[in-house]
C-alpha cells in the first residue's frame, strides 16, 4: 500500500550509545482508493473476451459507484488544489480501464458536478485486452450528489430545495448541462453503449435526464444510488389522491361510460412503446429516509439475489424499475445514505421488479397518451 509520505522516527539507546532510525508511514487520505475503495475486485484481462466480468451485476454496480465517487473527488481535488501527482480522483477509474474525457461544470459556482468517463483502449491493450468486454459501456456519465463544503454547498442545497419543493430539477443549469452531454454521447456511440449514473441529488438528476431522453425514444441504461423520493409536492399530491379516491367512489354509484374509455386509454398506453421500456436501476437502503419511499411493496414481485439481473417485468403496468434493496437492520442516516456501502464486499441485496406507486408516478409520463392532434381549420 502506497503512502503519501514518510516521517523519520529516531530512537536513542543510551546503553548501546547508538542511534536507530526507522521510517514511520504517514497516514493515507481517507478517500484514497487504497483506503476506502473496494476490495477483491477482479482486474480486466484477456479472459474477459471469453467471459466478461461486466456481465456480473455486482461488478457493474461496484465499478459504476466508484465512478460516482470519482466525481466527488474531482471537485474535492479542485477545492484543495491538488495536482496530477497527488490527485485522489484518477485512482477511482484507472483500475477499471477508463479515462476522464470531460467534466461537467456548474456555471453558477464553477464546481464540478459530473464527469464523462470513456473506455480507455490504450490502457486495455497494455494488458492484452484487445477489445471492450461485453457489457462494458463505451462511456459513462456520472453525477455526484450534495457536497457539504463551503464552495459548493449553496448551489447544491439550492437544487436539493428545488426537488423538495417541486419534485423536479428541470429548472437547474445542471439538468440542461447533463441532458446535452448524455444526448451527445448517445448520438456519438449509440444509446445502448452508454449509461448514466448518480448518487443522492445526482441520482435525481440522472433519473430526470434519463426520463427526458426516453420520451424521445432514446433509452439509456441508468444506475441510481440513494435517489431522493421525498418532496412537498408528493405529499400534497398524496392528499389530492385521497380526495380523488373518495370522489371516484361517489362516481361509481352513478351511471357513466367514462370508465370504459379510461380502461381503453390505459391499454393504449401500455402498448404505445411496444416492447421498448426504460427500466432504470435503483439502489436504496431501507434505513435511508431520503430514498426509502421507493420500497413501497404495492405491485412488487420480489426475488432474492442478483442472478435475475436480466429478468423482465411480469406485470401489465408499463412503469417499472429494477429495485435493489439493502437491509442491514437499523443504521445511522449517514451510513445508510452513503455511497461507500454499494461497493462493500459483504453487500447482500434483494432485487425486485418494482412498479410501486412512487415509481409509477415518476415514470408514468413516458407512457401517457399525447394530446390528439387538431386538424388545421380551413379558412
Q: What is the CATH number of domain 28-245+277-367?
A: 3.40.50
DSSP class of 51: S
Q: pTM of this prediction?
A: 0.77
What pLDDT, on a 0 to 100 scale, did the predictor assign at position 326? 83
Distant-in-sequence, close-in-space partners of 89: CB < 8 Å, separation ≥ 6:
70, 71, 73, 74, 76, 77, 100
Q: Does 373 score more than 80 pLDDT?
A: no
What pLDDT, on a 0 to 100 scale, did the predictor assign at position 138? 97
The stretch 225-247 carries a mean pLDDT of 58
pLDDT digits (tens, 9 = 90+) for 25-58: 556 899 999 999 998 888 888 888 888 999 999 9
What pLDDT, on a 0 to 100 scale, did the predictor assign at position 343? 94
What pLDDT, on a 0 to 100 scale, did the predictor assign at position 297? 59
pLDDT digits (tens, 9 = 90+) for 94-128: 999 999 999 999 999 999 999 999 999 999 999 89
Q: Does 136 score more than 60 pLDDT?
A: yes
Per the rule left: phi > 0, alpha: psi between -120 and 50, beta: everything else, 77 is alpha
Under 8 Å between Cβ of 281 and 322: yes
Domain ranges of the chain: 28-245+277-367
The mean of the pLDDT values for the chain is: 78
The stretch 184-207 carries a mean pLDDT of 96
The stretch 296-325 carries a mean pLDDT of 55
What pLDDT, on a 0 to 100 scale, did the predictor assign at position 303? 45
Beta strand 349-354 pairing with 221-225: unpaired
Looking at mean pLDDT, say which of 176-180, 241-245, 360-364 comes out highest: 176-180
What pLDDT, on a 0 to 100 scale, did the predictor assign at position 305? 43
State phi, psi for 331 to the nearest 5 degrees: -130, 155
User: Which one has a higher pLDDT value, 187 or 350?
Assistant: 187
What pLDDT, on a 0 to 100 scale, did the predictor assign at position 314? 44
Distant-in-sequence, close-in-space partners of 92: CB < 8 Å, separation ≥ 6:
33, 37, 66, 67, 69, 70, 73
Beta strand 281-285 pairing with 221-225: parallel
Amino acid at each position: 500500500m502506497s503512502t503519501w509520505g514518510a516521517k523519520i522516527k529516531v530512537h536513542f539507546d543510551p546503553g548501546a550509545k547508538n542511534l536507530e532510525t526507522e521510517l514511520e508511514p504517514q497516514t493515507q487520505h481517507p478517500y484514497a482508493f487504497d483506503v476506502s475503495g473496494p476490495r477483491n475486485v477482479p482486474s480486466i484481462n484477456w479472459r474477459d473476451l471469453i467471459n466478461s466480468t461486466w456481465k456480473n451485476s455486482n461488478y457493474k454496480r461496484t465499478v459504476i459507484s466508484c465512478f460516482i465517487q470519482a466525481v466527488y473527488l474531482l471537485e474535492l481535488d479542485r477545492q484543495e488544489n491538488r495536482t496530477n501527482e497527488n490527485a485522489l480522483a484518477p485512482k477511482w477509474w484507472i483500475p477499471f480501464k477508463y479515462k476522464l474525457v470531460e467534466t461537467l461544470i456548474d456555471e453558477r459556482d464553477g464546481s464540478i458536478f459530473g464527469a464523462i468517463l470513456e473506455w480507455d483502449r490504450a490502457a486495455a491493450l497494455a494488458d492484452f485486452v484487445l477489445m471492450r468486454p461485453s457489457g462494458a459501456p463505451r462511456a459513462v456519465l456520472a453525477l455526484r450528489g450534495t457536497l457539504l463544503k463551503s464552495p459548493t454547498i449553496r448551489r447544491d442545497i439550492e437544487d436539493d430545495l428545488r426537488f423538495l419543493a417541486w419534485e423536479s430539477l428541470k429548472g437547474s443549469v445542471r439538468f440542461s448541462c447533463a441532458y446535452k452531454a448524455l444526448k451527445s454521447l448517445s448520438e456519438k456511440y449509440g444509446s445502448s453503449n452508454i449509461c448514466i449514473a448518480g448518487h443522492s441529488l445526482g441520482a435525481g438528476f440522472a433519473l430526470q435526464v434519463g426520463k427526458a431522453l426516453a420520451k424521445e425514444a432514446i433509452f439509456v441504461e441508468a444506475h441510481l444510488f440513494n435517489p431522493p423520493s421525498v418532496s412537498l409536492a408528493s405529499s400534497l399530491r398524496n392528499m389530492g389522491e385521497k380526495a380523488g379516491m373518495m370522489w371516484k367512489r361517489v362516481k361509481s354509484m352513478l351511471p357513466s361510460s367514462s370508465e370504459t374509455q379510461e380502461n381503453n386509454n390505459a391499454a393504449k398506453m401500455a402498448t404505445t412503446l411496444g416492447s421498448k421500456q426504460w427500466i432504470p436501476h435503483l439502489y436504496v437502503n431501507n434505513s435511508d429516509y431520503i430514498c426509502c419511499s421507493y420500497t413501497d411493496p404495492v405491485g412488487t414481485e420480489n426475488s432474492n439475489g442478483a442472478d435475475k439481473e436480466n429478468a423482465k417485468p411480469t406485470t401489465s403496468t408499463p412503469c417499472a424499475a429494477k429495485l435493489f434493496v439493502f437491509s442491514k437492520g437499523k443504521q445511522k442516516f449517514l451510513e445508510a445514505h452513503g455511497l461507500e456501502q454499494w461497493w462493500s464486499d459483504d453487500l447482500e441485496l434483494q432485487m425486485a421488479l418494482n412498479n410501486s406507486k412512487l415509481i409509477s408516478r415518476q415514470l408514468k409520463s413516458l407512457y401517457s397518451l399525447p394530446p390528439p392532434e387538431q386538424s388545421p381549420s380551413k379558412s
